[in-house]
Every structure is written in structure tokens, then in C-alpha cells.
């Protein structure tokens, strides 16, 4: 039996975290690989227009946004694995449909079906079932890293695969990755005892209303909505700009994205460290939004040569990577105790809705206003986000904990009030049906002795 309080992840936890991170990475790789190529290669499809290409780029976000939370709740009732298997099969079917399409409408239908395989919440919930409390943040960070890495790889591999095998070959590769994900779940990911009721990893109906009325959470939801809208809209215009303004054939775009992603990744790291160490998250977030605004104006006014476009892409992806990494951390800090799972569910839904709107809006702006129309539209969205970001309060620098409670502690009616009086405790809530305490603490100010004296842990099973 593995020591339940061990500081190291057990072999079972490592297998679960590694396997589920791979499943996430393959699925997101399949979703993202289309971005750098659809605006150029999509022009060869029957019936294609800039507006319809934009719709194809963002279409997956519509079904993903609508189905993600219901799929997560369904996995609480019928189990995680059936939902994940069905979701990956739907995703693969969408890829096959797009691979066999000879018109833009066929690709749109395939992308819509791909998005319907909305397994994100179920995968996160399975991760929670298979990891102990003290290691869950590490496991979730592994998934976050796999998503970031898959995006970077997709920017390079997408153009290379499409150059070698065409757009249909790209979608066939996507279908194969979804089926590989099923094999990983079946063969590598350990079995869990059953779904855990856990407010930090899934959407809790009880926390939904408070989440939707929380001002700073709504600001962050608006932020991820705008970020992914700008990303999708920019990918309607940037590949075409590289061809028309930069004179770079579409087969050679991969190296631009490779340079931009590599420099962008290392460029963001000092700002992430500064934001956390110096507790300046709001300043860094607002600064990154202003850099995005500058990038869109730069593409509009200056991006008329290959060198200018490469410099713009490096700045864009530095700001994008910084924001993509910072926003989930802010959601974790700002959400009420016991409300992180629900807050992340609403946040993810906002992200997918933003992707859908960005593709549709970018395509329409391209059709009516050309490249300038897209870059001006994105700049206006950035300006709106900058106004929203400035009004946000500096987030609390806290860590979320979930502590099992003994029957004696559960029976203590005044426990929450006494916990809130402990120095360093920012928020606390007792959830009776889980026999657990959700608490948010500032580790630099926490009086650990007082906390431990108040909370008598439940005996280990």
C-alpha cells in the first residue's frame, strides 16, 4: 500500500498523469494543426470564401462550448471512461468527415463534429479520481503543459504535414491521434475506484450562480474569450499576409511559427516569474494585453515585409503564451473556496465560444475589409479587453486546499468562522456531502499551528 501522505507521486499517479496528458495533447494537436494552414489551403476547396474559411477555423468551438459542461456532468453519472471513449470516437468521426470533404462545407461539418467530442471536463475529473489531494496541482500542471506544448508543435507540424499529404492527410492524421488516445486510456491509464465528488475538478451546480455573479471571474472569462477570438481571427489573416505581403509560399510557413513559438515561450518566462514572485499579476496581465493591441496595429500598419511579419509574430506569441499561462492561474486564485472546478468550467466554455466567434468574425472581416479589416477588428477587441483588465482588482496570492474532516470536526458549527480568523486564511467552506473543508490560504502569512489545531483530519482509510 502506498503511503497516502507521501511527498512523491505514486507509480499509479504518474501513469495516470502521463497518460491523460498524452490524450489531451493528441486531441488538442489535432484541433490546432488546422490553424496555420486552413486560410491558405482552404482556398482550394469548392465553395470556399474568406467568411466560410473563418467559420471552418472556429466551428469546433461552438459544439465544444455547448457540450463540455454537460459531458462532464454525464461522466459523474455513468463514469469517466465511457464519456471519454465516446468523445474521442466522435472527434475521430469529425476528422474522417473533414478528410473526405471536397468542399468547404464538408470541412465545416467535420470541425463541428470534432468539437462535439467535448471530453476536457471528463478527462480532468478522471485525473482527480486517480490522484491524491497533495499531488493534484502537479497533475493538472502536467495537462496544462501538454496543451501548451501541443499548440507549439501544431504550429510547426500542421504546415509540414499539409505540405506532404494535403489537407485531407492532415485530417486523417488527426483521426489516427484520436484513436491512439482511446488505446492510451484503455491500456495505460489506471482504473479508478469510481467518480469522486470533488468541487475543485468538476462543475458543482451549487457554485454556478456565485461563479456567474463574481465580477473578477467574469473579467477573466471575458479575457480568455477575447484572447481566443483574436487568435482564431488572426489565423484567418496572418497566413495570407505571409503569402501576399511577405512573399513566403504557404509550404514554408512552418519555420515562421517555429521561430515565433520558441522565442515567444522563452520570452514569457521572466514575466511569469516576476508576476508570481513580486505579486504583480495584474500589471503583467494588463501589459501583455497592451502588447497584443500593439501587435495587431503593427500588423495593420507595418507588416508589409517578411521580416516585419516575423517580428510581429514573435511579439504576438510572446504575449499570447504569457496570457494563456497566466489566466488559469488567476482563475485558481480568484475563485471562491470550493468553486475552482465550476469557475474553470465556465472559463473553458468562454474560451471555446471566443474561438468560435473569432473564426466567424475574422472570416467575415476578411471578406468585407481584407487583411486590414481583420487586424483593425482584432485591435478593437484588444482595446476592449485592456479596459476590462484595468478595472480588475489585484488578485489574492493564495493556494487552494481540500482537507478531509473527521465527524467531530464536521459537527463543529462554528468551525468556518474560527478558520477565517486564522492569519493567512482567505476563504473557507465546509461541504457536508463530501465531509471535506475547502480552504484558500496565503502561505506567506499562514499560521499553520492554529490551522492544524482547528482541523482534525479524518482517519486514513
* Cα→Cα distances 87→32, 81, 92, 127, Å: 17, 10, 9, 16
Q: Count other Cβ atoms within 10 Å, centred on residue 405.
A: 21
In whole angstroms, give the CA distance from residue 59 to residue 132: 37
Strands 425-431 and 436-441, by their bridges, are antiparallel
Q: Is residue 402 within a helix (H) or strand (E), and if so which, with residue range?
A: strand 399-404
Assign residue 395 a region (left: φ > 0; alpha: ψ between -120 and 50; beta: otherwise): beta
Three-state DSSP class for residue 69 = helix
Give the three cell numbers for residue 96.
Answer: 474522417
Closest CA to 148 of 261, 236, 256, 225: 261
Q: Which domains does the chain have, with CATH numbers?
A: 11-390 (1.20.1250.20), 399-454 (3.30.70.100)
Q: What pLDDT, on a 0 to 100 scale, did the predictor assign at position 461? A: 44
The answer to whether residues 331 and 343 touch, using CB atoms and an 8 Å cutoff, is yes
Q: Where are the beta strands (DSSP E) in 86-163?
A: none
Q: What pLDDT, on a 0 to 100 scale, did the predictor assign at position 76? A: 81
What does the pLDDT profile of the chain (461 residues) look like in tens digits? 345 455 678 888 888 888 998 998 888 888 899 999 999 999 999 999 999 999 999 999 999 999 988 888 888 888 889 999 999 999 999 999 999 999 999 999 999 999 998 888 888 888 888 887 667 777 777 887 888 888 889 999 999 999 999 999 999 999 999 999 999 999 888 887 666 666 666 676 777 787 888 888 999 999 999 999 999 999 999 999 999 999 999 999 999 999 998 998 888 889 888 888 888 888 999 999 999 999 999 999 998 999 999 999 999 999 998 998 888 888 888 888 777 778 888 898 999 999 999 999 999 999 999 999 999 999 999 999 999 999 988 887 777 777 777 777 677 777 778 787 778 787 877 777 777 777 888 877 777 777 777 776 544 44
Q: Count other Cβ atoms within 10 Å, centred on residue 353.
A: 21
Give the three cell numbers for residue 324.
Answer: 494563456
In whole angstroms, give the CA distance from residue 233 to residue 212: 27
How far, rounded to the nearest angstrom, does the alpha carbon of residue 412 sit from its chain's CA centroid?
39
Assign residue 247 a region (left: φ > 0; alpha: ψ between -120 and 50; beta: otherwise): left
The answer to whether residues 107 and 98 touch, using CB atoms and an 8 Å cutoff, is yes
* Cα→Cα distances 62→65, 178, 250, 367, Å: 5, 20, 28, 21
- Phi first, then psi, for residue 405 (nearest 5°) are -115, 145
Q: What pLDDT, on a 0 to 100 scale, did the predictor assign at position 136? A: 72
The answer to whether residues 226 and 367 touch, using CB atoms and an 8 Å cutoff, is no
In whole angstroms, give the CA distance from residue 233 to residue 302: 18
In whole angstroms, give the CA distance from residue 158 to residue 150: 11
- Phi first, then psi, for residue 100 (nearest 5°) are -90, 0
The answer to whether residues 149 and 23 touch, using CB atoms and an 8 Å cutoff, is no
Amino acid at each position: 500500500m502506498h503511503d497516502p501522505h507521501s511527498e512523491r507521486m505514486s507509480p499509479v499517479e504518474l501513469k495516470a498523469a502521463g497518460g491523460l496528458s498524452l490524450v489531451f495533447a493528441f486531441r488538442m494537436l489535432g484541433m490546432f494543426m488546422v490553424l496555420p494552414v486552413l486560410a491558405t489551403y482552404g482556398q482550394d476547396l469548392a465553395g470556399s470564401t474568406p467568411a466560410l474559411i473563418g467559420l471552418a477555423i472556429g466551428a469546433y468551438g461552438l459544439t465544444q462550448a455547448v457540450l463540455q459542461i454537460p459531458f462532464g456532468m454525464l461522466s459523474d453519472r455513468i463514469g469517466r471512461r465511457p464519456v471519454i471513449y465516446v468523445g474521442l470516437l466522435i472527434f475521430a468521426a469529425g476528422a474522417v468527415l473533414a478528410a473526405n470533404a471536397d468542399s468547404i462545407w464538408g470541412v465545416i461539418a467535420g470541425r463541428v463534429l470534432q468539437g462535439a467530442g467535448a471530453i476536457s471536463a471528463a478527462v480532468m475529473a478522471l485525473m482527480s479520481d486517480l490522484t491524491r489531494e497533495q499531488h493534484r496541482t502537479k497533475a493538472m500542471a502536467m495537462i496544462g503543459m501538454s496543451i501548451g506544448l501541443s499548440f507549439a508543435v501544431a504550429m510547426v507540424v500542421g504546415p509540414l504535414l499539409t505540405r506532404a499529404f494535403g489537407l485531407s492527410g492532415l485530417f486523417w492524421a488527426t483521426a489516427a491521434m484520436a484513436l491512439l488516445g482511446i488505446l492510451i486510456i484503455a491500456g495505460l491509464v489506471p482504473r479508478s475506484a469510481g467518480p469522486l465528488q470533488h468541487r475543485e475538478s468538476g462543475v458543482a451546480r451549487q457554485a454556478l450562480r456565485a461563479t456567474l455573479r463574481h465580477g473578477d471571474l467574469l473579467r477573466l472569462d471575458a479575457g480568455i474569450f477575447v484572447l481566443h477570438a483574436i487568435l482564431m481571427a488572426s489565423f484567418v489573416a496572418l497566413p495570407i499576409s505571409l503569402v501576399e505581403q511577405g512573399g513566403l509560399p504557404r509550404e514554408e510557413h512552418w519555420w515562421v511559427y517555429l521561430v515565433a513559438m520558441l522565442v515567444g515561450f522563452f520570452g514569457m518566462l521572466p514575466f511569469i516569474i516576476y508576476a508570481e514572485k513580486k505579486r504583480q499579476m495584474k500589471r503583467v496581465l494588463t501589459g501583455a494585453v497592451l502588447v497584443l493591441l500593439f501587435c495587431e496595429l503593427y500588423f495593420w500598419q507595418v507588416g508589409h515585409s517578411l521580416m516585419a511579419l516575423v517580428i510581429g509574430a514573435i511579439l504576438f506569441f510572446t504575449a499570447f503564451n504569457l496570457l494563456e499561462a497566466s489566466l488559469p492561474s488567476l482563475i485558481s486564485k480568484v475563485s471562491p473556496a470550493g468553486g475552482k472546478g465550476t469557475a474553470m468550467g465556465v472559463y473553458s466554455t468562454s474560451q471555446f465560444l471566443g474561438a468560435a466567434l473569432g473564426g466567424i468574425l475574422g472570416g467575415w472581416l476578411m471578406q468585407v475589409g481584407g487583411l486590414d479589416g481583420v487586424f483593425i477588428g482584432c485591435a478593437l477587441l484588444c482595446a476592449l479587453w485592456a479596459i476590462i483588465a484595468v478595472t480588475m482588482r489585484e488578485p489574492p496570492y493564495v493556494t487552494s486546499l481540500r482537507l478531509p474532516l473527521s465527524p467531530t470536526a464536521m459537527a463543529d458549527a462554528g468551525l468556518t468562522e474560527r478558520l477565517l480568523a486564522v492569519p493567512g486564511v482567505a476563504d473557507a467552506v465546509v461541504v457536508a456531502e463530501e465531509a471535506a473543508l475547502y480552504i484558500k490560504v496565503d502561505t506567506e502569512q499562514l499560521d499553520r499551528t492554529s490551522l492544524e489545531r482547528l482541523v482534525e483530519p479524518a482517519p486514513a482509510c
